[in-house]
Amino acid sequence: MTTPSIEFFVGLSEELSNVSLRRNPSNGLRTVMMTFTSLKALERFNSFTQQYQGNLRLIDDEGEISVSPSSLKFIYGGDEGDDLKRVECGFEIGSQEHWDRFLRFMERYAQANGMGYIDKEQQ
């Protein structure tokens, strides 16, 4: 059984802090925004020793999903402005089949990491 993981660098699992799912009502395109409050790749300077392929890898029992982020923002703060506060990684999913597969991954990831789902429209 494969533990669901999210990787920017092969073999280095990151810890997702939050995920936001949106759908554009005019064209039906779905957007995912993943937030990380820290990145092991930066903490361990792996960004200099391992090659970043430009894709985010989502791995679970069904296999690997490789997505190309459409946005990747590093937000810094602190007294000197050099403390990483969070990283926001966004990508779009066009087809229903890919969306369904992504949701199955997120269900497994959430269950393995003690996360829950809240539908803001139903609150």
Kindly state whether residue 118 falls inside one of the protein's structural domains: no
| Structural domain span for residue 58 | 5-113
Confidence of residue 49 (pLDDT cuts 50, 70, 90): very low
- 29 in a domain, yes or no? yes
Q: What angle do CA 75, 77, 81 make, to 5 degrees?
A: 110
Residue 64: inside a domain: yes
Answer whether 102's CB lies under 8 Å from 93's CB: yes
Number of domains in the chain: 1
| CATH label of the domain that carries residue 20 | 2.40.30.220
pTM: 0.80
Distance separating alpha carbons of residues 59 and 63, to the nearest angstrom: 6
- The answer to the question of residue 41 being in a domain is yes
Query: Taking the mean position of all CA atoms in its chain, how far away is CA 84?
Result: 17
Under the banding of pLDDT at 50, 70 and 90, the label for residue 53 is: low
Q: Tell me how many helices (H) and strands (E) the chain has.
A: 3, 8
For residue 94, what are its two tokens?
């066009």
